[in-house]
Amino acid sequence: MKLRGKIITNKNSSKLIESKGKIFNLIQNTMNASRFQTPELLKLTKDIQESEFLALELEQKIYKDLCKEIRSASTIISLVAKKIAYIDVIANFAHISKTNNYVKPKLEEKIKIIEIVDGRHPIVEESLKKDALNFIPNNCSMDDKNSLWLMTGPNMAGKSTFLRQTAIIILMNQIGCFVPASSASLSVFDKIFTRIGASDNLAKGMSTFMMEMVETSRIINNASEASFASSIVNGLSSILI
């Protein structure tokens, strides 16, 4: 920061230059005016500049000292941060479970067990509440003998919501949260696959339907016996495996 000094018209500038009672230093001439500065003002400018430099130097020193302290205590800070994060997540799980009337799911030892009664999509349900509407719950029952579902219906009939809802309930169960349902019994799944939406790749000669077939095939080839896979095909049918 620099103090700019006093601006005087050229008509009166000679009076300051010739002044004997006070020292005025000419620092700039323009067409219509001249700028003067006194020794006191010059000293004040230097003091301000020095203060800014010292403040920045002190700030850098404090920052470096703080980094040093953090590095020396990094192990304990990391441990405390993990504990706080765990408490935060679990407390949030408890809060949303109580607020939204979620239930504790039962873990099944067998693979491919999905028994969801009155399941709800947690995000869609919250969105509907804003308009004072209720989410209509639905059931999903699958096991190793009944491991394939095929649903058909027009666009916006709820197929995608049902697929996402089932996948979200499985995920919420495996991260330790209660689930949006009246009751739920679920196996542990190693992977979750979903294919929803329409797109094409005409540059490579692949129509929307061909893309759906390729992506569905990729899901089937990568899914294991303990995986959950779902796909929307041609916008009219949904498959759960």
- pLDDT of 239 over the 70 cut: no
For the chain, the average pLDDT equals 83
Q: What is the 3-state secondary structure (H, E, C) of the chain?
A: CCCCCEEEEHHHHHHHHCCCCCCCEEEEECCCEEEEECHHHHHHHHHHHHHHHHHHHHHHHHHHHHHHHHHHCHHHHHHHHHHHHHHHHHHHHHHHHHHCCCECCEECCCCCCEEEEEECCHHHHHHHHCCCCCCCCEEEEECCCCCCEEEECCCCCCHHHHHHHHHHHHHHHHCCCCECCCEEEECCCCEEEEECCCCCEHHHCECHHHHHHHHHHHHHHHCCCCEEEEEEECCCEEEEC
Which pTM was predicted?
Answer: 0.65
Instruction: Inform me whether the pLDDT recorded for 1 exceeds 50.
Output: no
**Residue 198: its pLDDT value, please?**
64
Q: What per-residue confidence (pLDDT) applies to 83?
A: 96
State the pLDDT at residue 4: 47
Domains in the chain, please, with CATH?
6-71 (no CATH), 113-240 (3.40.50.300)
Q: What is the pLDDT of residues 44-73, one digit of tens each?
A: 888 888 898 999 999 999 999 999 999 999
Confidence of residue 186 (pLDDT cuts 50, 70, 90): very high
